[in-house]
Structure 1
Amino acid sequence: MNRGIALIVLWLALWAPATSFAQEDVGDPEVASLRASFEYGKYAEVLERAGARIDRGGLGEDDLVELHKLAGLAAFNLGRTEEAQRHLRALLRLDPDFSLDPFVVPPPAVAFMEGIKEDMATELEFLRQERRLRQEREKAEYERRERERVEAEVQRRRAEELASQVTVRTVEKRNFLVNFVPFGAGQFQQGRNSLGIVFAATEGVLAVTSVISYFAYESLFEERPIELDNVLDEDGRASITIRYIPTSRERQRDTWQLLKLASAAGFYTIYALGVVDALYHHEDQVVRTTVETRETQQQPSGNRLKSSTSVSAPPRARARPSASVGLYPTAGGLGAGLTLSF
């Protein structure tokens, strides 16, 4: 009876397709050779060579699993149960969840393997837990190394960026006399453009109003010659010209005169406030520190004032607002205009 079972097992093993035991390509070339020998039924040779190769060591886990499987099945087919159990137990200790494929391996061998797994149930459960813990540790270690790699890459790029940058000290010289220029010149020099625009617009309106009032007041005058007796001349007469404002224009005279004086007084008041404010905030020089790349540093940036370290003007200087007042002739007299540039 036992001899008949052994013949059936041997026939099923030989009947299996040549590719039945083909698995993932392993690293050791001798493993592939042993698999081919097993498929040709050379079980004694496979058992001996597999044991010798395992004893030499230097194999990966996948190769060890494959060799123990081939040796265990070869020993089982040869009827050497103890050796089969030893190899299959070693296989399960490497991979507690390993199972033989029932479509490839004969049922007696599969049943033999399942019996070994039942006997080792407690040990295999412990090995599974240990394996899960090891995989979790390996995963955590891999993630840690990956984070360190990313951080190192970030630090390297940051170091390259810092190496390509230079610190530039910008020294701006400010003229003290500009503070006494009207139309917010002192504020514009100090970079306080909003306040400078307020002073420029206010003083400009008052100045234009004062100029217009002056010419409007002067236009009220009329000229009239007066004949006088002059005993010193031969003909005994002399003539002079007088300028006067007719009584009918008295109301216009008072209005234009008041507007002229008020606008002039307002202009000088605002001008004085602007000067005081500019003097209060005046600094002889202002130092600014900026960071530029070497490419920007190499570009021409106009006239720069260099100190003992790198000193330069701002890379992009904006045009400062300015104000101007102009007079122009008209058909009926003289006009004035205020121009503001931003």
Structure 2
Amino acid sequence: MNLPGCRAPAAISLLVALLGLLALGTAPARAEPPDKLLARARAEFEYKNFENAARLLEQLLVPQVRLTTEQDIAEAREMLGLSYFYLGHQEQARRQFVELLYLRPDHRLDPFLIPPAAVTFFDSIRKEPAVREKLEQIRKSRQASKQPPPPRPPPPRVQTLVRQRELMRRSRLVAFLPFGLGQFQNGDTLKGVLLASGGGIALVANITCYSLLVALANENGRYAPGDLQLARGLRIGQYVALGLFAASWIYGAIDANLNFQETVPGPWRESRQPAAGGQSDGLQGGLAPVPGGAVLWFGSRL
């Protein structure tokens, strides 16, 4: 016996099964890649199946664009707009043509392939004041984006003023030499002049006295009775001059060694060099080794 209550579950099960089959049938279409969907729409459009072409193109453009290249989007917009136009949907066709013009402001329909009525409709949309103004703005914006940026002004010519001074190495041997040479090396010019003058005078006096003694002596090295007093004085002068020379030498050697410094900064030297990029402004300096010593340098950006 069939009861009315037993038919309701069966009807519900049948409805669920039909919905499942419908979902399975539509799933592949939804998952179809955009390029294949565009190819199918192109074939339907060429065979003048405008309803099928419009349905496929709507899947690519509505509610969001699934195509990636400008060429594919422009082709899809043109075919969808023409399909709407051929189907008599003027307002929908106009919206697609406006979007096509916003994408490509200078786009034209091919009059050799498109009927004159469609070409005239498309051109009338282009000539609308609001659309024409918008297209002009798009052209100017794109033209401005294509213009190269203004050239950068040349960088300022910057030079580095480099001041260098070498570390001069002094000789310990010079500190033991006479005539104030050790003082001159140490930079004690006044002491050097005094010791050089005193030592030089003493040495000249010593040599002079010796030469006069040799001149007064006979071939036997003896002096005449009248020259003995003079010879005695010359002998004393010779020894005194020799002692003064030795004293100045010893004093100069001791003083030079006490004030001796092995290395001292030399005189400053300036040079201009092109500044390398990335250097900071301000005073710079460093110590660079060179053969026989080192170079202490300072530089400032001008």
Give the TM interval when normalised to the shorter protein.
0.3 to 0.5
Per the normalisation by structure 1, the TM-score is 0.36
Per the normalisation by structure 2, the TM-score is 0.40
